[in-house]
Amino acid sequence: MENLFPALVAVLAGLAFLYRTRTSSTTPPKAIPSPPTPAEVEIVSKESDFPPDWLTSSQLFELERRAIFSKTWIPLTHKTHFPSPGSYHTYNLASIPILLIKGKDDKVRAFHNVCRHRAYAVATRESGTSTVLGCRYHGWSYNANGQLIRAPHFDGVEGFERGENGLFEVGVKVDGQGVVWVNLGSCDEKEDGSISINGKIGGGWRWIGGGKLDGAFNWKGALTPPDLEMVPGSFIQSLLQPKSESTHLFPNMFIVTIPRSGCWLSLSLIPVSERVTSVRYDVYGAANRKDERAQAVLATIEEKVKSRISNLETEYQSCLNTGSILPGLDLEHSDTQKQILSLLKAHAKLEKSRGAEIYPARREPRMNVKYQQAEQLCQELDCDASHKSLAW
């Protein structure tokens, strides 16, 4: 009996061994997960360089005004818009009023559209022709070179110099393609030919027409190349043989050439605030062709611009409601968005080092005792005129 017990234990151990062996041979081992690739680790661990309020922040918009629109070269228009001396156009570039005017020497100049006396607008219309522009408040007048030529109540005052009170000038450059660029922070000339545009748009063109429409969206959210929606629908079959091509002029303008139509389009996104953008569109046609087809292109472009703005507004409102970025706007893989972010970071770093906000476009007026005496006289005359008006 004593010899039977060890034998029984041995048999049971053998059966247990056979069971484990059978089970391990029929049940596949569990798969061991492979380690994540470096790219997968980066996707999981890396946070976006772009803030979540990239398209909605008022503070970011103010930084854009200082870091981009106040100190970099901005494409505004085309030389075709200045056919004769005195031709002028006004712009509000990120809420900074700008005046462009052609002088008698056929040179296009740019100025802050602000009177040196009381900071009222010198030119109140969007466009016109005049070699002399006068502020309606106190009648200060300037020629097309920005020089002060008349200053009521100040003329004849000892120590007051007209030459020191002209319009504040803005850097301007017309490149080889005829695009007019401005720089509010520097008058250093822009290198000619630095931008390569698909299709020739330099000479031999005339302005067919255009307009400006405001939309409730952030300008950066529209910085994708114009797609087929921007091409006139009734001419798609003919115009896309070959396809239209677009060129982005950083930061805010697109040039779209439309083959077989004799036309090209400029489309500018001019920010008004972080939530409002003005869309400026202009159609140009060959100077030696009839304009029936060009007018048809313009009419269709206008409808397409309106439709595109409506779509952007809908998408942007959804962005505001959900707190998400616009659908289809891939910030991480957009060179344009990265370039904007880089400029903002660089300017913010500069401001931090100096301990104050930096406004490159700001211009301070010169003051002296005689100017202040003349200003006091002007204020007294204003007061007298006001009392007479109230009495009347």
- Each residue's pLDDT tens digit, 100-148: 999 999 999 999 999 988 778 999 999 999 999 988 877 899 999 999 9
Range of the domain at 212: 58-190+199-227+242-354
In a domain, 18, yes or no: no
Distance CA 190, CA 182 (A): 9
> Could you give the residue ranges of the DSSP H alpha helices within 219-266?
236-239
- Average of per-residue pLDDT across 290-306: 84
**Strongest mean pLDDT among 41-50, 66-75, 218-227, 290-299:** 66-75
Distance CA 203, CA 270 (A): 25
CA 224 to chain centre: 12
Predicted local confidence at residue 193, as pLDDT: 46
- Average of per-residue pLDDT across 329-343: 91
Backbone conformation region of residue 106, classed left if phi is above 0, alpha if psi is from -120 to 50, else beta: left
Looking at the predicted structure, is the pLDDT value of residue 386 above 50?
no
In a domain, 153, yes or no: yes
In a domain, 264, yes or no: yes
In a domain, 256, yes or no: yes
In a domain, 104, yes or no: yes
In a domain, 216, yes or no: yes
Q: What is the pLDDT of residues 227-286, one digit of tens each?
A: 444 443 333 333 333 566 778 899 999 888 877 778 899 999 999 999 999 999 999 988
What residues have CB less than 8 Å from 169, skipping those under 6 apart? Answer: 109, 110, 111, 146, 187
Q: Of 109, 58, 68, which is closest to residue 86 (Cα–Cα)? A: 109
B/e letters for 161-195, b = 16+ CB within 10 Å, e = fewer, are ebeebbbbebbbbbbebbbbbbbbbeeeebeeeeb
In a domain, 21, yes or no: no
CATH of the domain at 77: 2.102.10.10
In a domain, 257, yes or no: yes
In the chain, how many domains are there?
A: 1
With bands split at pLDDT 50, 70 and 90, how would you rate the model's confidence at 74? very high
pTM above 0.85, yes or no: no
What mean pLDDT value characterizes the chain? 79
Q: How many CA atoms lie within 13 A of 187 on its CB side?
A: 6
